[in-house]
Structure 1
Amino acid sequence: MGKGKKGGKRMNKKQLTEQLEQFFSTQPGKTFSFKEIFRSLKLNTHPLKMLAIDIMEEMAWDDYLVRVSDNSYKLNTEGQVFEGTFIRKTNGKNSIKPDEGDKPVFCSERNSLFALNGDHVKASLMARRSHHIREAQVIEIISHAKDQFVGRLRVDKDMAFLITPDNTFATDILIPKRKLKGGKTDDKAVVKITQWPDAEHKNLVGEVVDVLGKTGDNDVEMNTILAQYGLPYVYPKKVEEAADKITGKITKADEAEREDCRNTWTCTIDPKDAKDFDDALSIKKLDNGLYEVGVHIADVSHYVKEGDIIDKEAQKRATSIYLVDRTIPMLPERLCNFVCSLRPDEDKLAYSVIFNLDDQANVKAFRIVHTIIRSNRRFCYEEAQQLLEDNGVVDGTGEPAPPAPAGGYKGEYATEIITLDRLAKQLRKQRFKNGSVKFDREELHFDVDEKGHPTRCYFKRSKDANKLVEEFMLLANKTVAESVGKVKKGRKPKTLPYRIHDNPDPQKLETLRQFVVKLGYKFGSSSTKGATARSLNKLMDECGNKPEGKMIETVALRAMMKARYSVHNIGHFGLAFDYYTHFTSPIRRYPDTMVHRLLTKYQAGGRSANEKHYEMLCEHCSDMELVAQSAERDSIKYKMVEFMGDKVGNSYDAHISGITSYGIYAEIDENHCEGMVPMRDLDDDYYDFDERNFCLVGRRRHHRYQLGDPIRIKVAKANLERKQLDFAIDNGKADKKVDKDKVTEETTKAEKPAKPRRTRKTKKSSKSKD
């Protein structure tokens, strides 16, 4: 132990440690992967490599090295004091994430200086005790992440409090009664902090900014979710007034400078409850046998000028937000639902990408032009899908549709829709051939009554009608990106916001490979994008209809990076496009409006825009997209718990959808609602958490809970306050743990999750689902 061979000679731990110290000390600030270290030190044998990894882990423990990733290190050149972001945990295991990218450092509550989640702090590393993890203490709060919080009021005789559902604070926020703004016990309210804790006063003091309404009311709860993420729940009156002044009238000047497409057959295909139609498709057969297909996009930038009051509000919001029962629009209602919306039988201004396609959907020519269009028909997805099914063209193979029968296809405008569908299938077939990844995810939907209460919960999968629209939008986005980004060698392309998607995490791909091999599948993770995509697609095809298919797809998705916006193009891995942007939804996404403006400028001969300015806007839009997604997920969780509220005590067949060190997530097969079986309720054994194999394993009886396994559960608790469903394992016996009080809405501070006392991780690995 502790020795290895190098070049025929043995090297002990002390000698290798000295070599590693010299290697890192002579190259401060540089990060090295294992491969680079092995190559530089000529560590050619497996024992030497393993010894080097063990030594570097010890060096990182002693703060001599910094562990940058699971397979790379650099010399620690930082002092004892550093700045970072405070990460507060409900279980007290707080940490500080250094600005320089090192891994988080533990910070106990007594050393937190009352910092809140997201605060930017200055911290000092504490002297490390033997066999203890690194620990830091906050010495200064540089800036607070936010000063407004949302919760439930409790009004007592002399004082009022704000109780937050996520245990953000060690204590509740005190509110003087004169600062309640009429709020009463159990009202949801937005509170602004007026006094932060210090050495003398450890309490938070605040004042009510807005009373949202009574706890449990649907509108109040949805607005509460928005307020928790700092998202707007009302539209500014001045912005709406500015929008009301826009008539949408098409002038003679508009007609003179635009291509007139009003005589070409055009339609929109959208969800049945949509009002903001921001894209339309047109088609006609040309004399040369080609098809002219137009992708027409609402010309928002014609009405919303850069820097005006509407634009500033849209830029701040960056995206529309889609909660379960409502849309929080990026633009005022007059613009998104009336002036800009491509409504049928109305002349509308559009920005269009018009393609000439052959029978195999190869692009022979295209043009990007400002147009005037007139939609002939508004289809909802269900109508278009039914039309395709009625004519037997929904096999999804990409092969040409059968010839029209003697009497023609069945249904109004069937020929046009079927032709568009056939061309879209050819585009889709070619895209997958070129390496686009085949993830066909389901979307959770609810039917709600007039009071917003969910009456049905179900999943929807994309059908041919959805994919028809998707393919032409992808083609338009790709074409616009290429028109700006592809330039002659040696020339710099003009600034454009791209939608980029980085290659998957190599370590997570390796975890996926090891995992699926045990299930009998082959998966070759590769350094090339195309080979990785092909391996993923082959794996998805092989496991798609198998019981373990959903489990494998879940693990594969965890290896994927998140797509984001940037002016620095690296391509889009998931779509296998070298150039991709967002052009097709300017009513609901601000980056699309940015692209429209820049494209118009460049077509008029304008010079490239300020790259730094647009990169800042891209970062803002990426951040707001994530915030909006979090709010959307919370609204789904709330409706899920509300839907299950009267089903406490019922048993269901389910499957395990997530494994963590603190419990098992299970999704009910019947309605797709997800809840958790807390670890404290698995009292039949002591369970070890195997992160790499996504399972819990009992020590004594060796019972295994594996991701994807079928399981029988009983609904134990539905807590609306915390948006949390608790399940219990249904083993056919009476279960004392089932809460018969149905929906729990505590009037006291929300309970903290129990610490997982009977689990330990068997391997160090990346984070699991939480």
Structure 2
Amino acid sequence: MGKKGGKRLSKREVADALQALFQAHPNETFTLKQIFKSLRLDTHPSKMLAVDILEEMAWDDYVSQPERGSYKLNLKTQVQEGTFIRKANGKNSFLPDDGGKPIFVSERNSMFAMGGDRVRVAMMARRQNHIKEAIVTDILERKHDQAVGTLQVEKDYAFLITEDNIFNHDILIPKKKLKGGKTGQKAVVKITQWPTTDGRSKDEAVFGSKSLVGEVIDVLGDQGDNNVEMHAILAKYGLPYKYPKKVEDAANKLTADITEEEIARREDFRDVTTFTIDPKDAKDFDDALSIRKAQGKGNAQLYEVGVHIADVSHYVTEGSIIDREAEQRATSVYLVDRTIPMLPEHLCNFICSLRPDEEKLCYSVIFVLDENANIKDWHLAHTVIKSNRRFAYEEVQAILEQNGVVDGTGEPAPPATKAKPYTGEYAEELITLDSLAKKLRAARFKNGAVKFDREELHFDIDEKGHPTRCYYKKSKDANKLIEEFMLLANRTVATFIGKAGKNAKTFVYRIHDQPDPQKLESLRAALVPFGYKVKTGGTRSAISKNLNKLMDDVQGQREQKLVETLALRAMMKAKYSTHNIGHYGLAFDFYTHFTSPIRRYPDTMVHRLLTRYQEGGRSVNQNHYEELCEHSSEMEQTAQNAERDSIKYKMVEFMADKIGLEFDAHISGIQSYGIYCEIDENHCEGLVGMHDLDGDYYEFDERNYQLVGRRHHKKYQLGDAIRIKVARADIEKRQLDFVLAE
């Protein structure tokens, strides 16, 4: 190997060969003589070159020298375990277990690891002016062994084309393993053979050892069919798209009948004014509010407000078949046109759902509040309720507005007079709750909570699942009313357990860490061109007050969306944990999820723990609950990704019959490869590629979020108004392409 085809070896070639040698034998020590022999270095210059490189590797901590003249891979710094993150663009990374920074892994060094796989990696020797790189040496645990894509059936074999081309190769499928699948159909495939470097299986004789081989486990149906596409999104994330029959059967045996003995054990709220407020298309009502007046000292006006939550844990017992399924799912998944429930339909839409005029079992936090929403007293109780009315948010909003509430001002309704009494169903109760909620909200922001009112994209869908309208849904006073009382209940029960400090029993908290200082610094730098300042140092509340001021200043400005997105990126993700660190975004020292047990498993865990501790039970095993918390956090993230994919799909589907039409839009994002534009009337976003920008060569000015033409100096800047024409709507890739209108 000393000379390659008569050519002297380059430094790069020798370095690569040395690296390959150490990685293939991570536990062996090599003398110089063994190294020269293994790499077939037989000329003096090539040996000297190898010695130079070995010295650099030792200096770089890539290898250690157990004794002079011998070298071994430095396992301590060079071999790490963690999670593999796969990206469709090939920019894969490795996330170390110890929480260190992600490290780049190129496709050729990935060993075909899938996203989420637990892997062992070796660090590659640092090349000059290159980023740190790792190479996967072992796959310790496969996270997923399934892929979703479109079948292509040839004469002798078939293959699966995955939508985001996450593999360098398509997955080959032997003809006998097709399960009746035909070309153009979507299918779920289980990978039965991963590419190997040694030891050939019987399929490898046909397909070769570098192939991915799989078998069809489910044919979803024809590409483009709405049901098929939604199931494909779920299957892509490993989420279930049908409910196991035996779990459904177990649920169907449960009865909603409540015995007299059960009522006697509970606090009775059946005669107290109670209602649910939910989205108009909701079926699973897991929270209700009750309100009645109470008298304080010296005739002070007090209000008893009950936050009543469906008592799921009364029906779903720990370890039962329904519980095991719910634990695995951990959350309901909300795609654009359907809900994939955590619990069987009979439970979530009938037995547990707090439907009007039906007696229901609840777990409730009962507050006594004064007129300024200060808590005078509270207690936790298992209750029985009977909702008087099921409201949609829009109905409550209309009642508030017809009585003088102006949405967005944060002001309650003016007092009723003889001449102008309140009008509308339960108007007095709703107005009182709205007024109390606004005081709770004001106190929260004063305490340092961060204001993030992100609007959500919504679709109106016809009976075939086709989107007919696309719009932003803003959170109004009626939504905020419910939100504040849910936050209050969640915070109160978490504080009740957590305030015992070192003696606190094991509990499930919803935690949110402070923003990442580096990301805050990036945010600060990014805002300079727009003339905004943001503090990156100081106390928690100083930073959040500063962020809130930024959110207020940017309202209605063309850069609003960008600034909100960047600020959101600087935030850490909220998650579940038994180790409490408080909730930064809400500015609460203790917070949990108690109010949605029908759709979130952590809330069910919280109900069980509270019941156990109320009855004097001992603390539970923390490690077991921490594992459940990690699983729930992971599933929440997965569900959000699936939801995002369904939105992208519907957006492209919505625009598919609008090819060639022109729209007013504004620039919503700028990248080195083109500009993202959001259509003003329907908020659909597409890309104008660099090659479609008019006759000039554009340079990407990353700091100022703009493209600048070299010759004519034309600028494309974030927030600019622009007229576009819809060029392509690729449903398979979920991509919209625009061109500039003439």
TM-score of the aligned structures, taking structure 1 as reference length: 0.82
Give 1:526-565 correspondences, 5 Å limit.
Answer: 526-565=537-576
Q: Which amino acid aligns with 2:624?
A: H
**Mapped pair 1:270 → 2:278:** yes
Contact 2:520/2:536 (CA < 8 Å) preserved in 1?
A: yes
Q: Distance in 2 between matches of 1:224 and 1:711?
A: 35
* 1:197–1:318 Cα change, 3 Å: same
Q: Distance in 2 between matches of 1:107 and 1:473?
A: 43
Q: Distance in 2 between matches of 1:224 and 1:316?
A: 20
* 1:95–1:393 Cα change, 3 Å: closer
Cα-to-partner distance string for 1:298-345 (whole Å, 9 max, x where unaligned): 000000011110000000000000000000000000110000000000
Give 1:77-88 correspondences, 5 Å limit.
Answer: 78-88=76-86
Structure 1: 5+ residue stretches without partners: 1-58, 66-75, 733-770
Partner of residue 330 from structure 1, selected from 342, 345, 359: 342
Q: Distance in 2 between matches of 1:113 and 1:512?
A: 36
Q: Secondary structure at the match of 2:291?
A: strand
Q: Distance in 2 between matches of 1:484 and 1:60?
A: 53
Q: Secondary structure at the match of 2:454?
A: coil
Contact 2:57/2:125 (CA < 8 Å) preserved in 1?
A: no
Q: Distance in 2 between matches of 1:166 and 1:396?
A: 41
Give 1:351-500 correspondences, 5 Å limit.
Answer: 351-406=363-418, 408-487=421-500, 491-500=502-511
Q: Secondary structure at the match of 2:261?
A: helix
Partner of residue 709 from structure 1, selected from 713, 720, 723: 720
Contact 2:405/2:411 (CA < 8 Å) preserved in 1?
A: no
Partner of residue 309 from structure 1, selected from 304, 321, 324: 321
Q: Secondary structure at the match of 1:676?
A: strand
Give the aligned partner of residue 56 of structure 1: none
Q: Which amino acid aligns with 2:477?
A: D
Cα-to-partner distance string for 1:214-238 (whole Å, 9 max, x where unaligned): 1111111101100000000000101
* 1:197–1:503 Cα change, 3 Å: same
Structure 1 residue 100, shift from structure 2 partner: 4.5
Q: Structure 1 stretch 425-434 or stretch 223-232: which is displaced more?
A: 425-434
Give 1:516-527 correspondences, 5 Å limit.
Answer: 516-527=527-538
Give the aligned partner of residue 344 of structure 1: 356
Contact 1:126/1:136 (CA < 8 Å) preserved in 2?
A: yes
Q: Distance in 2 between matches of 1:87 and 1:143?
A: 14
Give 1:569-580 correspondences, 5 Å limit.
Answer: 569-580=580-591
Give the aligned partner of residue 179 of structure 1: 177
Q: Distance in 1 between matches of 2:493 and 2:86?
A: 43
Q: Secondary structure at the match of 1:286?
A: strand
* 1:92–1:270 Cα change, 3 Å: closer
Q: Distance in 1 between matches of 2:696 and 2:95?
A: 36
Contact 2:407/2:476 (CA < 8 Å) preserved in 1?
A: no
Q: Distance in 2 between matches of 1:712 and 1:457?
A: 19
* 1:402–1:665 Cα change, 3 Å: same
Contact 1:120/1:141 (CA < 8 Å) preserved in 2?
A: yes
**Mapped pair 1:149 → 2:161:** no
Structure 2: 5+ residue stretches without partners: 1-55, 63-73, 198-207
Give the aligned partner of residue 36 of structure 1: none
Give 1:167-246 correspondences, 5 Å limit.
Answer: 167-199=165-197, 201-246=209-254
Structure 1 residue 679, shift from structure 2 partner: 3.3
Contact 1:642/1:718 (CA < 8 Å) preserved in 2?
A: yes
Q: Distance in 1 between matches of 2:247 and 2:491?
A: 33
Q: Structure 1 stretch 203-212 or stretch 639-648: which is displaced more?
A: 203-212
Q: Distance in 1 between matches of 2:472 and 2:411?
A: 28
Q: Structure 1 stretch 267-276 or stretch 652-661: which is displaced more?
A: 652-661
Contact 1:500/1:565 (CA < 8 Å) preserved in 2?
A: yes
Contact 2:577/2:629 (CA < 8 Å) preserved in 1?
A: yes
Cα-to-partner distance string for 1:528-559 (whole Å, 9 max, x where unaligned): 11111111112222221333333322222121
* 1:578–1:100 Cα change, 3 Å: closer
Q: Secondary structure at the match of 2:503?
A: coil
Q: Which amino acid aligns with 1:230?
A: G
Q: Secondary structure at the match of 1:78?
A: helix
Contact 2:400/2:413 (CA < 8 Å) preserved in 1?
A: no
Q: Distance in 2 between matches of 1:434 and 1:61?
A: 53
Structure 1 residue 438, shift from structure 2 partner: 1.4
Contact 2:509/2:592 (CA < 8 Å) preserved in 1?
A: yes
Structure 1 residue 524, shift from structure 2 partner: 2.6
Structure 1 residue 388, shift from structure 2 partner: 1.1
Give the aligned partner of residue 740 of structure 2: 729
Give 1:498-517 correspondences, 5 Å limit.
Answer: 498-517=509-528
* 1:160–1:253 Cα change, 3 Å: same
Contact 1:299/1:349 (CA < 8 Å) preserved in 2?
A: yes
Q: Which amino acid aligns with 2:176?
A: R
Q: Which amino acid aligns with 1:151?
A: G
Structure 1 residue 184, shift from structure 2 partner: 1.2
Structure 1 residue 111, shift from structure 2 partner: 4.1
Structure 1 residue 395, shift from structure 2 partner: 4.4
Contact 1:517/1:523 (CA < 8 Å) preserved in 2?
A: no
Contact 1:86/1:97 (CA < 8 Å) preserved in 2?
A: yes
Contact 2:562/2:669 (CA < 8 Å) preserved in 1?
A: no
Q: Which amino acid aligns with 1:655?
A: H
Cα-to-partner distance string for 1:623-662 (whole Å, 9 max, x where unaligned): 0000000000000000000000011122222222223333
Q: Distance in 2 between matches of 1:723 and 1:414?
A: 45
* 1:687–1:455 Cα change, 3 Å: same
Q: Distance in 2 between matches of 1:61 and 1:351?
A: 63
Structure 1 residue 620, shift from structure 2 partner: 0.5
- Number of equivalenced pairs: 661
Q: Distance in 2 between matches of 1:475 and 1:132?
A: 51
* 1:327–1:646 Cα change, 3 Å: same
Q: Distance in 1 between matches of 2:703 and 2:61?
A: 28
Contact 2:149/2:163 (CA < 8 Å) preserved in 1?
A: yes
Q: Secondary structure at the match of 1:671?
A: coil
* 1:173–1:516 Cα change, 3 Å: closer
Alpha-carbon RMSD: 2.3
* 1:135–1:562 Cα change, 3 Å: closer
TM-score of the aligned structures, taking structure 2 as reference length: 0.85
Contact 1:544/1:550 (CA < 8 Å) preserved in 2?
A: no
Q: Distance in 1 between matches of 2:570 and 2:261?
A: 52
Contact 2:356/2:389 (CA < 8 Å) preserved in 1?
A: yes
Structure 1 residue 107, shift from structure 2 partner: 4.3
Q: Secondary structure at the match of 2:187?
A: strand
Q: Distance in 1 between matches of 2:370 and 2:61?
A: 63
Give the aligned partner of residue 14 of structure 2: none
* 1:610–1:695 Cα change, 3 Å: farther
Structure 1 residue 512, shift from structure 2 partner: 2.5
Q: Distance in 2 between matches of 1:60 and 1:679?
A: 41
Structure 1 residue 445, shift from structure 2 partner: 0.7
Q: Secondary structure at the match of 1:467?
A: helix
